[in-house]
Structure 1
Amino acid sequence: MRIERDIDRTVSFRSSQGTVFRGTLSKLSRRNIVFEIYNPFSPVQMSEVLSDLKVRRGKNLVYQGDAVVTGIVTTSILVVVSATLVNQWSAVDAIISDPAGLGSEVGRFVDEWDRANKLQPNYQLKVADLRSFLSDLSFWLDQVDLAVEGEPGANHTILDAARFEEIKAPVMPRLTQLFLELEEACRQLDVDEVENHKQLAQRDLLPLMMASPFFNRVYSKPLGYAGDYEMVNMMFRKERRGKTTYGQIINDWLLNGGPPEAHRNRIYMLGKMLDKAAEDAAAEDRQVRILNVGCGPVQELQLFLAKNKEAHRFSFDLLDFNAETLAHAKRQIEAATAGSEEPPNVTYILQTVQDLLRQAIELPENAKTYDIIYCAGLFDYLSDRVCTKLVRLFHQWCEPGGRVIVTNVHSSNPVKGLMEHIMEWHLVMRDESDMVRLAPDLGPLKIYTDETGINVFLEIDKPPV
């Protein structure tokens, strides 16, 4: 990756929160960009879509479009952001009238093409195998759908559940085998080989994967970032969705994979934590104050409110950085507590991580305290430096005798290659030792995982006075 001499070093973009930032260009290629932002609060997160990213050559825009964040490194004064460029370059119009410029651009194109097509044969083979199977499967299942539509007296276009399960039985193991073989090929790549190989995987496999509503949501990121509330809902509900049987098969395979199963496990584990807190509060006849940071659709809270008779003892502060997510959470909580004589007190807080950290620095004496603070999922998208600050902040806000819980996707995630190479779903994955390093000098820690081993938990019990 290199920067041409006439490319301006200043770039600008709009975050998913609508704020315009400027950065200093460090590296640039046709598909990737690295730039520095002089902001200690890390204004972007992993897998966030940066819109209206502008790169200029003199007076001309050579790139204007979206970019997906693939890497973040934070220091005390700046943030280094790596991102994949989504749209096409627009430099051709500006150079077409300049013979020297045109010749230089053509030469640059050929050089970059040569570099981009030096691919590992095994990776190419595994992508081709998967593409071939998915293409043939799509064609065959389309014939099945046509046959269903033509059945005598049929008034439906969806395959019945029994026949759907019959199709799944031989197909799912083969899909798993092909994806795992591609995963192994992904693991064999050096870091500087990944981007060129990703182009091949996305070119060949995206058209065949987009039939899955879940995949479509993750890749398109309609709210400007991966992991939005509806994507999380899809993982939890695990519904049969898709306009065709083929789309439903791909969707089913994805939602029954490791990370979605780990997410469902996490919801149930957090639900049990709330149940235990309610049991203890009832025994001691006291109230419980809870802060949920990056609350999302609060599925664990919906389950808790639907069945626990001690919910009236609780007050919840639900914090998220997305207004649409908070509005959805509010609708779900109101539905779950409708008709309750003593509903819990719920406060909805719209605040970014950057605002949270800034508030902690500027107004530490005004901090509210809680019995339980948990953050499940947000750390997947934040740097170590930011996560360490947040853990310390949560511990500060926690009452003596209270508890802090944070979670992260484990670095052993078995579908890391699928997520990064095809879905453009980039996470900061951590193992047990990484989680320990997020909480230095905060006393005894408890580190554990869910049954899949894909979600790792950090739990801190603050000693009573």
Structure 2
Amino acid sequence: MEATEVKTNGVSFRAAAGDARQGALLRLSRHQAVFEVYGESRVLRVSEALGEFQITFAQRAVYSGRAVTRTVLDAGTSAIYEVTLNEKDWLDFLFAGDSFRNGAVKHQFEEFLAEWQKVYHILPEFKVVMADMQSFLHDLRLWVDQVELELKARYPGDLAQARHEVEEKMGAQVVPAFNAMHERMEALSATIPPELRGAHESFAQRQLHPLMMCAPFGRRTFLKPLGYAGDYEMVNMILRDPFEGDSMYARLVNLWFLRQWPAEAHRNRIKYLKTCLKRECLRGARRGQPVRILNLGCGPAYEVQQFLESEAVSDHAEFTLLDFNQETLDYATSLLTVAKQRAGRRTPIKFEKKSVHQLLKEGGRRQNPGAGIYDLIYCAGLFDYLSDRTCQHLMNIFHQQLAPGGLLVATNVDDRKPFRHMMEFLLDWHLIYRTPAGGATLVPESASADEVQVFNDDTEVNIFIEVRKPEHA
């Protein structure tokens, strides 16, 4: 291999196809290494032999020989690999006569050792739980891979159906088994001092990411390709068949993510919103009036799609759907156009690109052009990411825009179920959680107590804030 410059603490190697590559070293032990390669045009395979594999530490080669890929995490713009190393290929650089001559290598190693010793700040009980989860997933993957190979051999003509049947049976056992370990993790994580959470998050990701980011939902949630969590494709994943992934194992991990409380709560939220749409449109139909509906942060608007396809009273609705992301609006436009055509609806739907900042700016004007024109206003999920002050400001604007007798709905999440630490540690997904009492502090300043209801749903994860404006307001 031609000499190429490798960054300090890096790897260089030749892949099985013969192309030379370089990567950034993330973790190193005597028997394995983890490194990241950016801009991968071809992701390496598991069990791919890497020739001329060299590890450079403190600008000096410490390993030279062969490595075999053990796990692969395709992160889109980069790939993370775990490889096994051969004992005989280590270079005894620490004991070479000139290694410490200028003190540079010694200093670099001391920095490495100091960084590694941060692991001692991890709670021992947390290490045990992580080890149990890691061991379970590692052995599960080996077993499921064997099952998948057997299915391919036995059912070559009907593999998809056979595989799906087996996955459903496996999932019924795998999900509760891993839930038990996950709930132990949640309980322990709640005791971690705030100053140590970062170290525990990093530790959890190092231990579990190589085994869990094969799940499409987990990977997209962690990477946030649109720049934020909860994007329209994540919602799509929550609502469609959970058995997605490149292998049976990946599909089982994906199933586990989508059987957790946040996903269950989101599905329940869609049902609740559809019920609200139907109820308010029936009110309007009895009065012989169209029902003007505003939704901020519409996302893929699945509740609107389901409402259009299943309820004839949707013809009484007039929708204005707002979102700050154009890709999301384009997707929702396509989805709802098809839904209208399929159901034969004539429901007017207006899409508008607008951010919270723009809405707040418009609402701050003395004369708000949108005052009193909507019969239903709802904002579902956005408050999970916004401060109390911003939420209340939005609620004041919404209440002003609400027509007499109209309904204002906002949703938030409560963390009384075990899921928060998994989201934060593994998926880097942070929310602002509120109890019903906390949600009650967000109601419009002009609303009286008898106009307001704040309650949890059956999952106890969603909180719903409903404000009914008086008919003669």
After TM superposition, is the score higher than 0.5? yes
Which residue does 1:347 correspond to in 2? 350
Q: CA deviation at 1:363?
A: 6.0
Q: 1:378 to 1:358 in 2, by over 3 A?
A: same
Which residue does 1:443 correspond to in 2? 448
Matched ranges for 1:31-46 at <5 A: none
Contact preservation (8 Å) 1:158, 1:244? no
1:123 pairs with 2:130 = no
Q: CA deviation at 1:372?
A: 0.7
Which residue does 2:238 correspond to in 1? 235
Of stretches 413-422 and 162-171 in structure 1, the one that deviates more from structure 2 is: 162-171
Which residue does 1:327 correspond to in 2? 330
For residues 216 and 395 of structure 1, the distance between their equivalents in structure 2, rounded to whole angstroms, comes to 38
Matched ranges for 1:61-460 at <5 A: 111-115=114-118, 117-151=120-154, 153-154=156-157, 156=159, 159-338=162-341, 343-362=346-365, 364-368=367-371, 369-439=373-443, 441=445, 442-444=447-449, 445-460=452-467
Contact preservation (8 Å) 2:308, 2:345? no
| Partner-residue secondary structure (3-state), 1:412 | coil
Which residue does 1:77 correspond to in 2? none
Q: Which amino acid aligns with 2:395?
A: V
Contact preservation (8 Å) 1:306, 1:337? yes
Which residue does 2:88 correspond to in 1? none
Q: 1:143 to 1:187 in 2, by over 3 A?
A: same
For residues 226 and 408 of structure 2, the distance between their equivalents in structure 1, rounded to whole angstroms, comes to 29
Q: 1:443 to 1:101 in 2, by over 3 A?
A: farther
Contact preservation (8 Å) 1:238, 1:255? no
Q: Which amino acid aligns with 2:402?
A: C
Contact preservation (8 Å) 1:410, 1:454? yes
Q: Which amino acid aligns with 1:198?
A: E
Q: CA deviation at 1:340?
A: 5.9
Q: 1:137 to 1:402 in 2, by over 3 A?
A: same
Q: CA deviation at 1:111?
A: 4.8
Provide, for residues 392-421 of structure 1, a one-character-per-residue CA deviation record: whole Å limited to 9, x for no partner: 111111112111100011131421011000
Q: Which amino acid aligns with 1:264?
A: R
For residues 247 and 137 of structure 2, the distance between their equivalents in structure 1, rounded to whole angstroms, comes to 14
Q: 1:399 to 1:107 in 2, by over 3 A?
A: farther
User: Superposition RMSD on alpha carbons, in Å?
Assistant: 2.5
Of stretches 233-242 and 445-454 in structure 1, the one that deviates more from structure 2 is: 233-242
Q: CA deviation at 1:337?
A: 0.8
Q: 1:155 to 1:270 in 2, by over 3 A?
A: closer
Q: Which amino acid aligns with 1:380?
A: D
For residues 345 and 262 of structure 2, the distance between their equivalents in structure 1, rounded to whole angstroms, comes to 36
Q: CA deviation at 1:447?
A: 0.8
Contact preservation (8 Å) 2:309, 2:342? no
**Equivalent pairs, count:** 371
Q: Which amino acid aligns with 2:170?
A: I
TM (norm. structure 1) is 0.75
Q: 1:229 to 1:342 in 2, by over 3 A?
A: closer
Q: CA deviation at 1:218?
A: 0.7
For residues 104 and 287 of structure 2, the distance between their equivalents in structure 1, rounded to whole angstroms, comes to 78
Q: Which amino acid aligns with 1:455?
A: N
Q: 1:313 to 1:159 in 2, by over 3 A?
A: same
Contact preservation (8 Å) 1:145, 1:159? no
Q: 1:208 to 1:462 in 2, by over 3 A?
A: same
Which residue does 2:470 correspond to in 1? 463
Question: Which blocks of at least 5 consecutive residues in structure 2 are unaligned?
Answer: 1-77, 80-101
Tell me the percent identity: 36
Provide, for residues 205-226 of structure 1, a one-character-per-residue CA deviation record: whole Å limited to 9, x for no partner: 0011112111111111111111
For residues 305 and 253 of structure 1, the distance between their equivalents in structure 2, rounded to whole angstroms, comes to 31
Provide, for residues 126-183 of structure 1, a one-character-per-residue CA deviation record: whole Å limited to 9, x for no partner: 0111000001101110111111112265463674333223323332221110111111
For residues 173 and 249 of structure 1, the distance between their equivalents in structure 2, rounded to whole angstroms, comes to 12
Provide, for residues 256-301 of structure 1, a one-character-per-residue CA deviation record: whole Å limited to 9, x for no partner: 2211111111111111111111211121111111100000111111
Provide, for residues 40-85 of structure 1, a one-character-per-residue CA deviation record: whole Å limited to 9, x for no partner: xxxxxxxxxxxxxxxxxxxxxxxxxxxxxxxxxxxxxxxxxxxxxx
Which residue does 1:42 correspond to in 2? none
Q: Which amino acid aligns with 1:139?
A: L
Q: 1:205 to 1:158 in 2, by over 3 A?
A: farther
| Partner-residue secondary structure (3-state), 2:312 | coil
For residues 340 and 172 of structure 1, the distance between their equivalents in structure 2, rounded to whole angstroms, comes to 37
| Partner-residue secondary structure (3-state), 2:294 | strand
Q: 1:398 to 1:102 in 2, by over 3 A?
A: farther
Higher RCO by CA contacts (8 Å cutoff, separation 6 or greater): 1
Q: Which has the larger radius of gyration?
A: 2
| Partner-residue secondary structure (3-state), 2:127 | helix
Contact preservation (8 Å) 1:148, 1:157? no
Contact preservation (8 Å) 1:258, 1:452? yes
